[in-house]
């Protein structure tokens, strides 16, 4: 006969693996989100309060890189006013779409997704981009490539997983082997903006250029930090003949806001 304790241990372990009892952000016991597919996935990790607190980047933004302006004054005089960064060093992309702040539960969600192999979070994270991407004319989508050595150690490319979800949603072709990394780079974490740019210079290359020639490409990353990676990717794609490059990441780190 199964005793409560013999059953309890195995079932308890199983349930706590599938549904951890505490929210990864605030540590309180998890209460159910509204019952959608998302809710089931998110409730493995986050309580309703923490997930509902995630914040979009609102207000007036640079029309190129989407960095929010501290005040809307410049835009009220000139609606096309671009930020200082984009004026000094114009990116090769047409527009960056980075709808959410890298804060609160989204920091944890990215960590779980990227470093703890919780690939089930790809869908809710990619879905954060859907509203921002709706209406764009895109011919093909790709994720920022990883170097094969990094790919082997991580076993998956988080940017490609996001790109794949978007490709499925919008019925865009997904290209996974057109752009690749020519060398390994230092981790960008902790590097200054200048060092990040230098670290990324010339890191991508394109094979079979005819596949992107004249196309509108969407390049996807998991987090937009200084934009160094996506800028370098867009530059490479434009050089290889892409007509336009849009870049996107569900979350963005904000500096000086
Ligand atoms: Zn919570
Ligand atoms: Zn800008």
Is 98 domain-assigned? yes
Identify the CATH number of the domain in which residue 175 sits.
Answer: 3.40.50.2020
Q: Given this model, what pLDDT does residue 2 score?
A: 47
Report CA(56)–ligand 2 centroid distance (Å): 18
Same domain, residue pair 150 and 206: yes
Residues 59 and 121: their CA atoms lie apart, in Å, by 27
Q: How many structural domains comprise the chain?
A: 2
Residue 241: closest CA among 207, 216, 213, 210: 213
* Cα distances (Å, whole numbers) of residue 7 to 44, 77, 83: 22, 69, 61
Residues 222 and 163: their CA atoms lie apart, in Å, by 9
Residue 96: closest CA among 65, 124, 60: 65
Same domain, residue pair 164 and 94: yes
Same domain, residue pair 48 and 99: no
Report CA(218)–ligand 1 centroid distance (Å): 33
Same domain, residue pair 35 and 119: no
Question: pLDDT digits over 193-237, tens only?
Answer: 788 888 888 899 999 899 999 999 999 999 999 899 999 999 999
Q: Given this model, what pLDDT does residue 178 score?
A: 95
Question: pLDDT digits over 237-255, tens only?
Answer: 999 999 999 999 999 998 7
For the chain, residues with pLDDT lower than 70 are 1-20, 31-37, 39-40, 72-76, 256-257
Give the residue numbers spanning the domain of 28.
Answer: 10-52
Same domain, residue pair 15 and 102: no
Same domain, residue pair 111 and 236: yes
Report CA(31)–ligand 1 centroid distance (Å): 9
Q: Given this model, what pLDDT does residue 98 score?
A: 97
Instruction: Collect all residues with Cβ–Cβ distance below 8 Å to 126 and sequence separation of at least 6.
Output: 161, 162, 165, 166, 169, 250
DSSP category for residue 156: S
Is 123 domain-assigned? yes
Q: Given this model, what pLDDT does residue 15 score?
A: 59
Residues 231 and 89: their CA atoms lie apart, in Å, by 10
Instruction: Collect all residues with Cβ–Cβ distance below 8 Å to 178 and sequence separation of at least 6.
Output: 142, 206, 207, 208, 211, 212
Is 14 domain-assigned? yes
Report CA(10)–ligand 2 centroid distance (Å): 53
Report CA(127)–ligand 1 centroid distance (Å): 20
Q: Considering every ligand atom, which ligand is closest to the CA of 109? A: 1
Is 35 domain-assigned? yes
Same domain, residue pair 237 and 132: yes
Please give the backbone phi and psi of residue 237, each rounded to the nearest 5 degrees, phi first: -70, -40
Alpha helices in 140-227 (DSSP H): 148-154, 158-170, 193-200
CA angle 220, 201, 254 (to 5 degrees): 50
Is 68 domain-assigned? no
Q: Considering every ligand atom, which ligand is closest to the CA of 96? A: 2
Report CA(144)–ligand 2 centroid distance (Å): 20
């Amino acid at each position: 006969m199964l005793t409560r304790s013999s059953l309890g241990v195995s079932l308890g372990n199983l349930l706590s693996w599938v549904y951890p009892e505490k929210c990864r952000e605030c540590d309180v016991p998890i209460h159910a989100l509204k019952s959608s597919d998302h809710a089931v996935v998110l409730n493995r990790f986050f309580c309703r309060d923490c997930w509902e607190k995630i914040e979009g980047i609102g207000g007036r933004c640079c029309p190129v890189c989407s960095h929010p302006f501290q005040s809307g004054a410049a835009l009220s005089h000139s609606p096309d006013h671009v930020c200082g960064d984009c004026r000094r060093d114009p990116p090769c992309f047409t527009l960056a779409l980075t709808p959410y702040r890298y804060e609160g539960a989204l920091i944890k969600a990215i960590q779980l997704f990227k470093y703890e192999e919780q690939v089930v979070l790809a869908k809710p994270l990619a879905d954060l981009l859907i509203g921002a991407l709706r209406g764009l004319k895109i011919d093909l989508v790709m994720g920022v490539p990883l170097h094969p050595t990094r790919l082997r150690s991580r076993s998956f490319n988080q940017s490609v997983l996001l790109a794949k979800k978007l490709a499925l949603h919008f019925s865009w072709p997904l290209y996974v082997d057109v752009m690749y990394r020519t060398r390994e780079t230092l981790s960008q974490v902790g590097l200054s903006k200048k060092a990040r740019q230098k670290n990324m210079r010339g890191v991508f290359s394109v094979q079979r250029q005819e596949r992107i020639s004249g196309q509108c490409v969407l390049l996807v990353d998991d987090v937009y930090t200084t934009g160094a990676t996506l800028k370098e990717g867009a530059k490479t794609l434009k050089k290889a003949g892409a007509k336009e490059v849009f870049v996107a990441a569900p979350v963005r780190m904000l500096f000086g806001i």
